[in-house]
Structure 1
Amino acid sequence: MSADDARPNQQPPWTAIILAGQRPEGDPMAAYCNVKYKALIPIAGQTMLERVARALIGSPHIGRIVVMAQSPEHLKAGLSPDLAEHEGIAFVESNDGIATSIHGVIGSDIAPWPVLVTTADNALLTGEILDCFFQGHNGQDVAVGVVERQTMLAAYPDARRTWLKFRGGAYSGANLFALHNEAAKPAVAFWSAIEKDRKKGWKIFAHFGPWLLLRALSRTIGFKDAMTQAGERMKLQAEPIILPIAEAAIDVDKPSDLELVTDILTLRCK
């Protein structure tokens, strides 16, 4: 199947933004692994950034990759030559705010629409996960990849994740965000305002008024309906994309994550 055949309605290929920055004071996982930049933590023979970049390069949905970091040249120097000099990968300097950095490039010549945002610590990303995500995208202005808790526990019963709990299920993020067009920009601006609370679902929904917050806290609303209502407040269409692959929601935030990801990748290589 060609890249054009894989894209519905011949829409333009997606620009993938890989967020590869870290906190100004440094990252605990980088310190734990004795490397300067978290994105360059090696796992089973490749850095996390390399693994994410290779998964994206291999996807027929992706036409361009933008690596965003405070020190992009240092990350570029830490990659294998085929990636560092790849014509489809650009390295762009970001500031200390994730959302403001994204907002500054989406829809521009650097990152033309549509845009997929992911992270350098999404080391288990595969073409299969990307296919599932894009198959679930039906033109929503904003879509967020998630994994339901039962999917995770069936595969990794001891995995510890952050769960957003709603009627009908609990969900963990997959670090995949679709920004389809100009209508998505208010969502990115909103994310900038609540970035520090990104893992506290109730604080996020509190910004959309007491009624939606109450329904989220009491679990009397499903995740899809909650996102739909939040999107309507911003005059855009927003939905979750529920992925059936547990590994999609496993990133590297702590040593136990690193151990689990290392085990999974080691088994893949056998």
Structure 2
Amino acid sequence: MTLSALILAGSRGGVDPVAAYAGVPHKALIVLEGETLLARVAAALRGAGVQRVLASADAGAVADEADKLGLERLAPAAGPSASAAAGFAAGGAPMLVTTADHALLRPEWIAAFLDRAPRDADVSILLARREAVERDAPATKRTWLRFADGDWSGCNLFLLASPRAAAALALWQEVERDRKRPWRIVIRLGPGMLLRYLLRRLTLAEAVARIGARAGIKAAIVESPYGLAAVDVDKPADLDLVRTLVR
């Protein structure tokens, strides 16, 4: 089955501080080493052998850039989870999902992720340990996921390996809707799992597997040996760091 990929390049509305800092209308249009971020991400996916690349992209300049790059363009939905669901419905499994601000993404990271993803998992998530991130990008400031087996950072790369992964996207949409009511998110974990997390007795792999099971799927984590895989462009300081790293 042909592997496809979806790049989330929609806008959350309002003024994006990173785009404003870079002097462009949209973060995906920031130019790094002569290429837009959208072009860099698309090139990394194609370099890893992905032949069909879709982009959830806003109308206007981002849409024009997606068309120029030969991407299959979809109108973004209301939020990243809904956009991912729409992209998955259009592209089908297996599908990689990433973001347009994954400025440092490299084909070998993607290839390693695909090679290490469990063959029986419906969804695999790439993450990096704090030690690897701080080794490769000591200046970065991250929000860490703290578990019994250490601190982790997401790498904005997901593999939706089977049609059942749609259930994970539905759960993501529910969590996104409840982001202002965190108690409802906590309820999904169950009291035992929550207590283990608070006591730092829950590993990340266990947490992801349990949450996947509640959605009726098998979900797994894949550890990235590349700390830079966790560096995206969420803040102006991130853009400064990325510009320094590519130089």
TM exceeding 0.5: yes
Per-residue CA deviation, residues 44-94 of structure 1 (Å, 9 max, x unaligned), is 22111110011111112x1210010232x5314236xxx7153xx201111
Shift of 1:115: 1.0
Residue aligned with 1:194, SS:
helix
Residue aligned with 1:16, SS:
strand
Kept after mapping to 1: 8 A contact 2:74/2:87: no
Residue aligned with 2:51, SS:
strand
One of 231, 238, 242 as aligned partner of 1:261: 242
Kept after mapping to 2: 8 A contact 1:148/1:169: yes
Q: Please name the residue that 1:84 is paired with.
A: 68
1:168 aligns with 2:149: yes
1:66 aligns with 2:54: yes
Q: Describe the shift of the 1:119–1:203 C-alpha distance in structure 2 as closer, same or farther (beyond 3 A).
A: farther
Residue aligned with 1:227, SS:
helix
Q: Describe the shift of the 1:206–1:42 C-alpha distance in structure 2 as closer, same or farther (beyond 3 A).
A: farther
Q: Please name the residue that 2:230 is paired with.
A: 249
Q: Please name the residue that 1:223 is paired with.
A: 204
Greater shift in the superposed pair: 26-35 or 118-127: 26-35
Distance in 1, Cα, partners of 2:184 & 2:42: 32
Kept after mapping to 2: 8 A contact 1:16/1:115: yes
Q: Please name the residue that 2:97 is paired with.
A: 117
After superposition, residues 191-210 of structure 1 pair within 5 angstroms as 191-195=172-176, 206-210=187-191
Per-residue CA deviation, residues 1-42 of structure 1 (Å, 9 max, x unaligned), is xxxxxxxxxxx2321000001112131111111111111011
Q: Which amino acid aligns with 1:113?
A: A
Distance in 1, Cα, partners of 2:198 & 2:168: 22
Q: Please name the residue that 1:95 is paired with.
A: 77
Unaligned residue ranges in structure 1 (runs of 5+): 1-11
Kept after mapping to 1: 8 A contact 2:17/2:236: no
Q: Please name the residue that 1:4 is paired with.
A: none
Q: Describe the shift of the 1:220–1:235 C-alpha distance in structure 2 as closer, same or farther (beyond 3 A).
A: same
Q: Describe the shift of the 1:96–1:187 C-alpha distance in structure 2 as closer, same or farther (beyond 3 A).
A: same
Kept after mapping to 2: 8 A contact 1:146/1:242: yes
Residue aligned with 2:78, SS:
coil
One of 6, 16, 23 as aligned partner of 1:34: 23
Kept after mapping to 1: 8 A contact 2:10/2:56: yes
Distance in 2, Cα, partners of 1:59 & 1:194: 31
Q: Which amino acid aligns with 2:81?
A: A
Kept after mapping to 2: 8 A contact 1:70/1:93: yes
Unaligned residue ranges in structure 2 (runs of 5+): none
Per-residue CA deviation, residues 195-235 of structure 1 (Å, 9 max, x unaligned), is 2778xx99855522122122122210111111111111111
Q: Please name the residue that 1:105 is paired with.
A: 87
Greater shift in the superposed pair: 182-191 or 205-214: 205-214
Distance in 2, Cα, partners of 1:202 & 1:253: 26
Q: Please name the residue that 1:127 is paired with.
A: 107
One of 158, 161, 173 as aligned partner of 1:180: 161
Q: Describe the shift of the 1:160–1:28 C-alpha distance in structure 2 as closer, same or farther (beyond 3 A).
A: same
Shift of 1:117: 0.5
Report the RMSD for the aligned CA atoms in angstroms: 2.0
Residue aligned with 1:78, SS:
helix
Q: Please name the residue that 1:9 is paired with.
A: none
Residue aligned with 2:176, SS:
helix
Q: Please name the residue that 1:56 is paired with.
A: 45
TM-score by length of 1: 0.84
